[in-house]
Amino acid sequence: MGLPLLGETLEFFTPSSSFDIHPFIKKRMKNCTFSFRYGPVFKTRLVGRPLVASADQELNQLVFLQEGRLFESWYPESFTKIFGQDNASELHGPMFKYLKSLFLKFLGSPNLRQVLLQDVQKEALSRLLSWSTQPSIELKTQIGSMIFDVIAKKLISYDPATEKEDLKRNFSAFIRGLISFPLNIPGTAYHRCLQGRKNVINMLKELVAERMMSSPVGGDRADYLDHVVEELRKENSMLTEGVALDLVFALLYASSETPSPALTLAVKFLAENPQALQELTDEHEEILRNRKEQESGITWEEYKSMRFTFQVINETLRLANVAPVIFRKALKDIHINGYTIPAGWGVMVCPPATHLNPEIYKDPLTFNPWRWKVRKEKAETKNFMAFGGGMRLCVGAEFSKVEMAVFLHCLVTKYRWKTVRGGSIMRTPGLQFPHGYHIQVFSKE
């Protein structure tokens, strides 16, 4: 289990330049020098806590399905400091269900169909037009900025041109240190991450205070924060200011940042796979040919018809493994396959071990969207965990797909691009582009 207190934390955060399972997990799944096999389930210690790490899809499925009975959501203290004591992963039972309903008011299907679908397309077209006038752009940064502006405007009516403090800059500092060694010393990425969170929370707190003092806003003029404040005003409301702040903070993060590395990777894969790019382009040009008004926005029906696009998205998410680990905690001693997971121990589910298993996905390190022609994602949750599983399946899963599909539609129907430099990946264990991914965008017209 590694060094005292520190455990194997240093190995866990050791960078890897491969799409393959992180060496920290992979080497424990193989025979070691003394012919002792750890197997797909092993114990370790990370950031001071004993953990059982699971690279076994059957155990992973059990962990997700038995939440509230055998397991509950839990994350290490370093994570809780980043996302707050009142974040969704720390809430259980009725309070979690209530918070999930608030998430769905923003990311649920009605708002996706009626508002966010068109907003994402409008912003994507605007950004692509701007990028096409530049020698090159760093794609992940620009995609993150694009999505952030859409989300921040809908959440809190944020306009970077009129705000006195740069919310995006503080949020960027938070993002850069999110998956870093948890050493809270000035100068470290983790310290800057905590400072970024503190600044963002203070800005949100001021906004909530202003809204609480002003008259309620209704109709089309109301943003998501107005609905949250309305909940806070209710007598005997389950919502507290702390939960409300962490809710809005989590929505800013989850809906804007988690899709950007995956979407960047999708563009990189398409640039390297002309056949996939051609089939994707054909699908979207067919949508345009069947549309009565060429310049009208994407409809929900058109979005749902993008079969090959979803194959590209699923394959990208499988290889990207944006959420490299998912944490839970054992509520009681759990006996499984001759082993005991002690009560109170953390359980670290490792989705990449499933997504990159050659017994499940042939040639797992190869980008092959056609493999999804015969796979049914929803029926294979134990083999595809890009959005988690069980009752805590990511509420923003559909929105992430909307963001990716709409951007790809705008890109391949109106533009072409070439790689300028960068594109190498690094896992720490989260997915990063250490040298960026710089592309030049050209209009097709």
CA 2 – CA 13 distance, rounded (Å): 14
Q: Which helix (H) or strand (E) element contains residue 416? A: strand 415-422
DSSP result, 324-388 = --EEEEESS-EEETTEEE-TT-EEEE-HHHHHT-TTTSSSTTS--GGGGGS--GGGGTTT--TT-
Q: Tell me which DSSP letter residue 37 carries.
A: B
CA 79 – CA 372 distance, rounded (Å): 34
DSSP result, 330-348 = ESS-EEETTEEE-TT-EEE
CA 65 – CA 392 distance, rounded (Å): 10
CA 441 – CA 128 distance, rounded (Å): 8
CA 129 – CA 132 distance, rounded (Å): 5
Which residue has tokens 């994707």? 280
Query: At residue 177, what are phi and psi to the nearest 5 degrees?
Result: -105, 5
**CA-based angle 248:251:252, to the nearest 5?**
85
Query: According to the annotation, is 350 in a ligand binding site?
Result: no
Binding-site residues sit at 394
Binding-site residues for heme sit at 394
